[in-house]
Amino acid sequence: MAMHTVRLSPATQLHGGISSNLSPSNRKPNNSIVRYGCGSSKRFRIVTVLASLRENDANGRDNSVRAMEVKKIFEDSPLLPKPLSSNQLTESVSNGSRVRVAYQGVRGAYSESAAEKAYPNCEAVPCEEFDTAFEAVERWLVDRAVLPIENSLGGSIHRNYDLLLRHNLHIVGEVKLAVRHCLLANHGVNIEDLRRVLSHPQALAQCENTLTKLGLVREAVDDTAGAAKQIAFENLNDAAAVASEKAAKIYGLNIVAKDIQDDCDNVTRFLMLAREPIIPGTNRLFKTSIVFSLEEGPGVLFKALAVFALRQINLTKIESRPLRKHPLRASGGLKYFDYLFYVDFEASMADEVAQNALRHLEEFATFLRVLGSYPVDTTML
């Protein structure tokens, strides 16, 4: 059987470095995580079956039968872990060896790459939802979470701003990842055959110009790699996924177009979250993230931001979100929207100047919380 017909090769595509499987069917009765070595015979069985499927395809076999077979093989595979869902959170435990890092999405998602960049040699643990990743850390199932917070083209990931406040984790670091999107389709599908494109809404927004030029109908899914997986599993021939080159390899898809984001400098910033804060230092460039709310009144936000300007502290990000518990406030018979302000500033909480700024802010803030003080990611992308 000629190996070149197999698009999912064993070493790079099926195993891919994840050694735990969190799906209930693969969990040991004592709730510890089942591990699989690189030489798993099941892995080779899967590759062999895929190879024979490809060969059958070449002989003109029914595509829907093939799609069902491929789906079954992937679902049975212990090598592609199923993401954690909220109701599984009580069922697995951290084994204390490598750092276990939760991310949202499935294998091949940009968030997985960010987790691996933030914690080299970590065990990246896929989670279905952002919320699940937060909870996985809170319940000691994993050690850290790495979650996207903003993108240079698409803007803020609002959901994670809201969750930062709803949960009690601390920001212990940030990591920036260059995001280079590809258009992925099944082999044999040409760009002219495409009608639809599936991806994470952020990824779709980052490729707005290309997708508009191609006239593709956008369909939002949970993550970019999940879109690639769906294209492969369902053997779709009118749809493509916006996803990474890594996802193309994992799910055996063809790269129809590369670098389709609207700007070559497309960067997503991720936050590293932990149960305990790190001790802020002054030995390197630090950033501090805070959230606060203010009284209603003329110039109040101006005054709040002035506490930093007066001390020459540089602000790197400001975001406002509705204050959900009190979305409206009344003043003089009028109703105003009520907000939370998230601010990142370039100073360590170990700096007296930062402590003074926050003391000053407390004088008129109705609520203030420090989300974390952590080293700035200064790596060039």
Is 84 one of the binding residues for ligand PRE (CB under 6 A)? no
* Among 3-11, 47-55, 108-116, 294-302, the segment contacting ligand PRE (CB under 6 A): 108-116
Which of the residues 148 through 177 are near ligand PRE (CB under 6 A)? 148, 151, 157
Name the minimum Å distance from CB 203 to ligand PRE.
4
Residues 6 or more apart from 141 whose CB is under 8 A from it? 84, 89, 92, 93, 94, 100, 102, 125
Taking the least distance from each CB to ligand PRE, the nearer of 127 and 294 is 127
Name the minimum Å distance from CB 148 to ligand PRE.
4
Can you read off the two tokens belonging to residue 249? 């390899």
User: Known catalytic residue: 367?
Assistant: no
* Among 60-68, 79-87, 220-228, 351-359, the segment contacting ligand PRE (CB under 6 A): 220-228
Number of neighbours of residue 299 by Cβ within 10 angstroms: 8
Say if strands 267-274 and 170-178 run parallel, antiparallel, or are unpaired: antiparallel
Q: Could you say which of 268, 292, 308, 345 is catalytic?
A: 268
Q: In angstroms, what CA-CA distances link 327 with 36, 183, 323, 324, 376? A: 49, 40, 5, 5, 33
What's the chain's length in residues? 381
Is 116 one of the binding residues for ligand PRE (CB under 6 A)? no
Is 179 one of the binding residues for ligand PRE (CB under 6 A)? yes
Each residue 222-241 as x (binds ligand PRE by CB under 6 A) or -, in order, gives -xxx----------------
> Can you say whether residue 155 is alpha, beta or left, with left for phi > 0 and alpha for psi between -120 and 50 degrees?
left
One-character DSSP codes across 78-141: TTSPPPB-GGGTTS----SSSPEEEEESSTT-HHHHHHHHHSTT-EEEEESSHHHHHHHHHTTS
Is 105 one of the binding residues for ligand PRE (CB under 6 A)? yes
* Among 12-20, 83-91, 109-117, 347-355, the segment contacting ligand PRE (CB under 6 A): 109-117
User: Known catalytic residue: 130?
Assistant: no
Residues forming the site for ligand PRE (CB under 6 A): 105, 109-111, 148, 151, 157, 179, 200, 202-203, 223-225, 268
Residues labelled as active-site residues = 268, 270
